[in-house]
Structure 1
């Protein structure tokens, strides 16, 4: 069944599992393979998080899922089951994108509980300490003749015994569980290698009790290499150290998501019958009105009903500048009220909040699997059995060709130890975990691993003008005075009469007039106000606050003519010149004569030009897409550095889809960035849909990558982070493959001591995780 069919089929649900006992890529491959044999089930298993995300048809029960995993040798627990509606879109060839299911009451998130699962450092620490304490003397007396004494071999064997049994128990237990199911994993190699080294040495010692009777000798004939107690102890210690460091590093990799999920307010002060009551934030319901005092977190998404303030949304959006809010403003839960007291009516609570949705998106991205990781899965599925075969062949060939039992044994054990595919299993998920977590901290949500691949290949990006490149809000650019009036008087008169109107143009003129007043004064009052929809306004204004006032008419040419005012030809040409530049021009007439022209335009967002220049540096061709006329589009394009031939003007919503398809037909891999409902179809059609988070839910749902802020610079940052995350994963996989490709032949040739092999194997896993953790320092 294709991804498209899966995403749109009915009668399916999403199940999330916690899975205990997985240790390497082979475990992941086995679980996915077994679950995949259930009809209609698709599973993605994550090693660092010890979790799985499944799409399950209704014909398969939850218990069947759990039983299948348990029968494979691991322990599964259902974390969450969520019915799902059909997805709104897919990219066909693109694999799965993030689904948005419910994750528990009050917006809780399963990952928050799950972070404590897995091989926690606290459980490994005592085993590592005991192993290290006992291994040091074993290594010293085995390798340094000066420390040896009569019958030192028996002492070394006794000291090594707790190391290869109790300390190495996690390896042996996992190997035994898998063996019962006729399977093998990384732990199988470790367990066999450690036990083989110890038991072979013990057999040698019991067969010849006088083997270490004399210091500096392992046999009466002086033949060295008969005892390998130090190999068994050192390999165990190194591998435990590697596991311990991995556990610490993986915990750090998940810190970003934990921090995101903990952002929400714990309490809320709700107003009921005019009385304030403090309740847990999770108990809020839609429609509740709650109080937010200065310095407090906003408890949930809502609408401001009273008060004004500045809200610091940096924790959610990544933008550092506080946003001014007042009655009618939308606010987001977990943001911080910095100044005034606000009354907020809850509109979204629990799992519907922006914060909960962010958590789901990040979680789903982290449990996904990039196409590049599939190669690792296929290899790991057969890797361990092949390595066991290579070890046996190595032992037989060395014995047949050289007749040296000790050399044959050493080479075989080295092959087993060096081949453990830990790094292979960690390469992709730890990189993805860290990259997506860092993105969440920066207000960037990457919906899935496929997005990383898409950002690498994108070579053209369509930018919706309004709300993406520009603010989408009109602002006064300049005022032209006529018939002896001053620009300041024209703006003040226009602002006074427009202040009584609700039109966006009126708001912009009134705001500009008010900001031009000295000492934060107020605009003159207006009498006899009249508004004509789509035409303009009229009223009487006393500019100095005294006298009968002046009749002010502001609006389009037709509105002035309806009021008996007829601008002259030269004045009309001045208006036409302003409009030809892509601006909106409004007449202002005083006492029956044109007094001036106020010119307004959409404002380019600060940083848009710099962001577009950076896109070009990344090898991405920026194109402007807008429903506005060509003059407006050309003006904005020039301001931000987009070439005239890369402008699509006068485009309707369907035309935006056609623009994406046109570029795709020319061989381009196309990204689309937008924030409105009319952008959703184009976002879905694009190879990479990028929603600006200041926009609508439908735009965010239709996209692959979401920027929670409104700054175009964050879009560039999102692409850079995605590419860097993909680069880190590829680097991890290269070294994991390279390490095994080089290490196994070297070990088989007898050129690698098993102790060094153990240290190298542990180091490879730690290095892969450490390389991934570098993403935590990705800067703004």
Structure 2
């Protein structure tokens, strides 16, 4: 117990007080009765043995608590154990095993079946299945071939792979995950700040109560011995025939040691530690501890459409030339114009048009000039003329009338397709349609969120007709259509002004401001493709069911925090008065105090048994 005494004396020297001070005062007062009985007052009862037992109980409780807290923080330890120690680097035509910290970006690494992939990288040769469960929680191995990205520390299962390192050291996906979990476990949620404030007043209050208890038992014992009188024959350690000083010492020591600020201090961080660790095991990364509390309070979940609700894999579906006129180039000509204008585009719609043209045998032509207009379309110079490709609003702004194709556009949009108009030299030439595929779990995820009482909304740059078609198919209740990328944050702000508490779910690339504006930003992606710094919550899998899992994780973790706080407050509210009234033996008081902390930590560890795997929502 010397460490407890040293800590207590150091704390007193700094002019403050903590639980160690309470234990120090209680046990020291007990120890002093031994020498006092021998040398000063033989009538005093000897509590020195009780003091020793109190310290033994205290240390035993601290040991059990430390073990339980260790189990709570196992998530980080397990993640760190997954990191590879060495890598087989290919250089000068041979293979060489080197420590992992000597691997550099660009190195080629050989990964054989059963080995961990040393760092994040891209497959340059070979084909295999990789177990990515440590990163995503996904139990099914993922097929990898040349050109595919791989996550460091995942396990190669079948064939040999040659991997080029793209991220090493602290930049790897696993290192970022470990850093994120550590940060989440070290931050304080709002309710914890309240508990900390209470705790800061707690020890001084207990010292005051203990001093008051001693004074009352010394001066007016008849005022507070009513319960002790009732239980004197039942509880053998109650003996009201003792002198007032002995009764005062008995009750004062019990009051000091029964109070437990530790239970209050542990109530929140232990639950947060286990909850964030459990999330990491299932591909749900909590970047900021505050998100645990904020997520359980949201009432509206807003999804970005492309790449979030859908796979982000656009494909060309339809081509329609404008009605017969001088500007009508026919289907092939319309597609050729569109593909030429989008030739240099990196936008998914543009790439879909170019790839669709190639699949249809259309000869591609590179434009002389190219300009992308964010959220609207592109302009390109071709054969001395100008080609304009984009949505309806864009062409109308350019003074081009889309009405000749109105019927076709409505038909496509009612099917949930995205209609893209094509014009040459200011005249309508035709239109093409592209479509994205919904993710397999989108409809189920939206349905689950609605069952949980949450409103769902979709935000998209598509026109209202296309957006409504997708919303009807998925069950989305609110549509925010024709929203440009830089307007998404404004739409989230408008919802908040309506009194909504909003979670925004997006890929974190073109919707980062909206993720920041939302009460909780949820970034969703796949493996190393995630913009990991863009959301307070990051879903490693690309599945929307992860949003349901994150909400459930938040609710269950916060429930445990509330249970722990109720227990901590309830324990102290009941037990301190019992000690003051003289019916708690100091030894039992110390045991109860130790077990109260253990109870809080054990209750938090029960979160380990919850199932928040996104897979369960796919099966139900």
Normalised to the residue count of structure 2, the TM-score between the two structures is 0.76
Partner residue in 1 for 2:18? 185
**Helix, strand or coil at the partner of 1:651:** coil
Following superposition, the deviation at residue 601 of structure 1 comes to 3.3
**Helix, strand or coil at the partner of 1:394:** helix
Contact 1:238–1:759 (CA<8 Å) still a contact in 2? yes
**Helix, strand or coil at the partner of 2:123:** strand
Alignment of 1:742 with 2:541, yes or no, is no
Contact 1:434–1:773 (CA<8 Å) still a contact in 2? yes
1:393-432 equivalent positions in 2, closer than 5 A: 393-402=212-221, 404-432=244-272
Q: Distance in 2 between matches of 1:704 and 1:378?
A: 25
Match of 2:113 among 294, 308, 316: 294
Q: Distance in 2 between matches of 1:509 and 1:307?
A: 31
Alignment of 1:601 with 2:601, yes or no, is no
Q: Could you give the per-residue CA deviations for residues 320-378 of structure 1, whole angstroms, max 9, x where no partner exists?
A: 33333333322221222233332222111111111111111111111111221222222
Alignment of 1:199 with 2:28, yes or no, is no
1:434-445 equivalent positions in 2, closer than 5 A: 434-445=274-285
Sort the Cα spacing of 1:503 and 1:667 in 2 relative to 1 into closer, same or farther, 3 A.
closer
Following superposition, the deviation at residue 453 of structure 1 comes to 2.1
Contact 2:125–2:161 (CA<8 Å) still a contact in 1? yes
Unaligned runs of 5+ in 1: 1-167, 210-218, 220-224, 479-497, 512-525, 535-555, 557-571, 587-597
Q: Could you give the per-residue CA deviations for residues 412-435 of structure 1, whole angstroms, max 9, x where no partner exists?
A: 011001113121221122122111
Contact 1:269–1:277 (CA<8 Å) still a contact in 2? yes
Partner residue in 2 for 1:543? none
Match of 2:150 among 320, 325, 331: 331
Partner residue in 2 for 1:3? none
1:277-426 equivalent positions in 2, closer than 5 A: 277-402=96-221, 404-426=244-266
Contact 2:312–2:437 (CA<8 Å) still a contact in 1? yes
Following superposition, the deviation at residue 257 of structure 1 comes to 0.8
Contact 2:418–2:466 (CA<8 Å) still a contact in 1? no
Contact 1:189–1:420 (CA<8 Å) still a contact in 2? no
Following superposition, the deviation at residue 476 of structure 1 comes to 9.0
Match of 1:755 among 587, 593, 603: 587
Partner residue in 2 for 1:677? 509
Sort the Cα spacing of 1:272 and 1:529 in 2 relative to 1 into closer, same or farther, 3 A.
farther
Relative contact order, higher structure (CA 8 A, sep 6+): 2
Partner residue in 2 for 1:634? 468
Sort the Cα spacing of 1:574 and 1:659 in 2 relative to 1 into closer, same or farther, 3 A.
closer
**Helix, strand or coil at the partner of 1:278:** strand
Q: How many residue pairs end up in the alignment?
A: 518
Partner residue in 2 for 1:96? none
Q: Distance in 1 between matches of 2:519 and 2:362?
A: 52
Q: Could you give the per-residue CA deviations for residues 355-413 of structure 1, whole angstroms, max 9, x where no partner exists?
A: 11111111111111122122222232232233222212211211111362221111101
Partner residue in 1 for 2:3? 170
Sort the Cα spacing of 1:186 and 1:355 in 2 relative to 1 into closer, same or farther, 3 A.
same
**Helix, strand or coil at the partner of 1:471:** coil
Alignment of 1:775 with 2:615, yes or no, is no
Q: Distance in 1 between matches of 2:204 and 2:605?
A: 31
Following superposition, the deviation at residue 200 of structure 1 comes to 1.2
283-292 or 690-699: bigger deviation: 690-699
Contact 2:286–2:537 (CA<8 Å) still a contact in 1? yes
**Helix, strand or coil at the partner of 2:7:** helix
Q: Distance in 2 between matches of 1:575 and 1:428?
A: 55
Q: Could you give the per-residue CA deviations for residues 72-106 of structure 1, whole angstroms, max 9, x where no partner exists?
A: xxxxxxxxxxxxxxxxxxxxxxxxxxxxxxxxxxx
Match of 2:541 among 709, 714, 717: 709
Sort the Cα spacing of 1:230 and 1:693 in 2 relative to 1 into closer, same or farther, 3 A.
farther
Contact 1:581–1:631 (CA<8 Å) still a contact in 2? no
Contact 1:677–1:696 (CA<8 Å) still a contact in 2? no
**Helix, strand or coil at the partner of 1:171:** helix
Following superposition, the deviation at residue 438 of structure 1 comes to 1.3
Following superposition, the deviation at residue 529 of structure 1 comes to 7.6
Q: Distance in 1 between matches of 2:29 and 2:220?
A: 22
Q: Distance in 2 between matches of 1:579 and 1:187?
A: 69
Partner residue in 1 for 2:446? 612
Q: Distance in 1 between matches of 2:357 and 2:57?
A: 71
Partner residue in 2 for 1:257? 76
Unaligned runs of 5+ in 2: 222-242, 319-338, 344-349, 368-388, 390-405, 421-431, 614-620
Q: Could you give the per-residue CA deviations for residues 651-700 of structure 1, whole angstroms, max 9, x where no partner exists?
A: 21022112201111111111100004211111111111000132887843
Contact 2:89–2:98 (CA<8 Å) still a contact in 1? yes
Following superposition, the deviation at residue 206 of structure 1 comes to 4.8
Contact 1:675–1:695 (CA<8 Å) still a contact in 2? no
Q: Could you give the per-residue CA deviations for residues 709-751 of structure 1, whole angstroms, max 9, x where no partner exists?
A: 1111112111211222222122212221222222222211112
Q: Distance in 1 between matches of 2:274 and 2:253?
A: 34
Partner residue in 1 for 2:382? none
Q: Distance in 2 between matches of 1:579 and 1:386?
A: 68
Q: Distance in 2 between matches of 1:194 and 1:503?
A: 75
Following superposition, the deviation at residue 177 of structure 1 comes to 2.4
Contact 2:530–2:540 (CA<8 Å) still a contact in 1? no
Q: Distance in 2 between matches of 1:533 and 1:726?
A: 57
Q: Could you give the per-residue CA deviations for residues 280-317 of structure 1, whole angstroms, max 9, x where no partner exists?
A: 22211111121222332221112222233333222101
Contact 2:523–2:530 (CA<8 Å) still a contact in 1? no
Alignment of 1:243 with 2:66, yes or no, is no
RMSD: 3.3
Q: Distance in 2 between matches of 1:573 and 1:428?
A: 59
Q: Distance in 1 between matches of 2:127 and 2:605?
A: 41
Partner residue in 2 for 1:522? none
Contact 1:289–1:343 (CA<8 Å) still a contact in 2? yes
